[in-house]
Each structure stands twice: as structure tokens, then as C-alpha cells.
Amino acid sequence: MKRLQRLRRLQRRGDEGSTLPLVIGVVVVVLMLLTVVTDVSVLWLQRRALQATVDGAALAGAQAVDLPTVYAGGARGDLLLDPRAARGAVRSYTASVPSSKQLTSFRLTAVTVTTTTVTVRAAAVSRPPFLSWLTGRGVTVVAEASARTTTG
């Protein structure tokens, strides 16, 4: 009888604390998932803000129609752009929109103007909290948008 009680006590003692490694493992996995989701969310939101800024800049540039040409020849076919005015409209728009100031290291990398299309490309540095803490650097996000003028 004593031997059976001692054996039961030893069996119970062997089970004690066996859930601790499992709990620690689950906590580590949850924390890793939380850091990845947080960093990816920050990257996605900043990329979306950059894309919205670039979209607006392309639209602003596409509104810089060469008015003397339109008035001289009428509005037939595609509206022609004034390249200098389109580039100025893109720069003016990006300087005035708040997101360009909120994005770290925002810069226009290319503004291409053809007779009917404006293409704007920009880059900014995103600093996800955990990735930046580990590496000390940010991630460069890039966005590009085009807008075209047409009469119909």
C-alpha cells in the first residue's frame, strides 16, 4: 500500500510544471505574431498614404492643360498638357498636402509628362516600430500613379 501511494506521488510530481513550457511557447508565438502584424500594418498604412499623395499629384498635373492650344484649335481629341505647368502643379500639390510632410523622407523621384499623360513616382521611408528597433533602419516604400487627359 505504501509503495502504491509513493508511486502515485512520484507520478503527480512528474506532471507538475509541464504546462509552463507550453504557456511560454504560446506567449512567444503570440508576441511574434503581434510584432509582425503591427509592422506590416504600419507599412501598409504608410504605403497607402504615399499612394494617395501620388494619385492626387498625378491628377493635379493632368489638369495643367495647354489652354492656348485648346482655345486656338478647339477641344478635339485629347487635351494637350503644358509640361512645365504640369510639373509645377505636381510639385505644388505635394508641397501643400499634409501627408507629404507626415511621411518620413518623402521625395518625388520622377515626374514624367507626355502630351496627354502625367506619371508621378515618389518614395518615403517607413519606420515600422519593431523592425526599426531591431535594425535601426526604415523600409523604403515607393508608389507610382499616372493620369491622362481626354475629352470623352
What was the pLDDT predicted at 149? 85
- 57-100 pLDDT per residue, tens: 999 999 888 777 666 666 565 678 889 999 999 999 999 999 88
Tell me, yes or no, whether 16 lies in a domain: no
Query: How many separate domains does the chain show?
Result: 1
| pLDDT over 90 (residue 143) | yes
Tell me, yes or no, whether 5 lies in a domain: no
Tell me, yes or no, whether 123 lies in a domain: yes
Contacts of 132 (CB under 8 A, 6+ apart): 138
| pLDDT over 80 (residue 54) | yes
What was the pLDDT predicted at 45? 92
Tell me, yes or no, whether 91 lies in a domain: yes
CB burial of residue 60 (10 Å; 0-12, 13-18, 19+): buried
pLDDT interval class at 127 (50, 70, 90)? confident
Q: Are 140 and 124 a contacting pair, CB within 8 Å?
A: yes
pTM over 0.85: no
Tell me, yes or no, whether 14 lies in a domain: no
Tell me, yes or no, whether 34 lies in a domain: yes
Tell me, yes or no, whether 7 lies in a domain: no
Query: 110 vs 65, which has greater pLDDT?
Result: 110
Q: Percent of the chain scored above 70 by pLDDT?
A: 84
Find the Cα–Cα–Cα–Cα dihedral 37, 41, 44, 49, rounded to 10°.
-170
Tell me, yes or no, whether 15 lies in a domain: no
Q: Provide the H-helix boundaries in the chain.
A: 2-15, 19-62, 67-73, 83-96, 98-102, 129-135
CB burial of residue 133 (10 Å; 0-12, 13-18, 19+): exposed
Q: Are 94 and 57 a contacting pair, CB within 8 Å?
A: yes
Domain residue limits at 38: 24-148
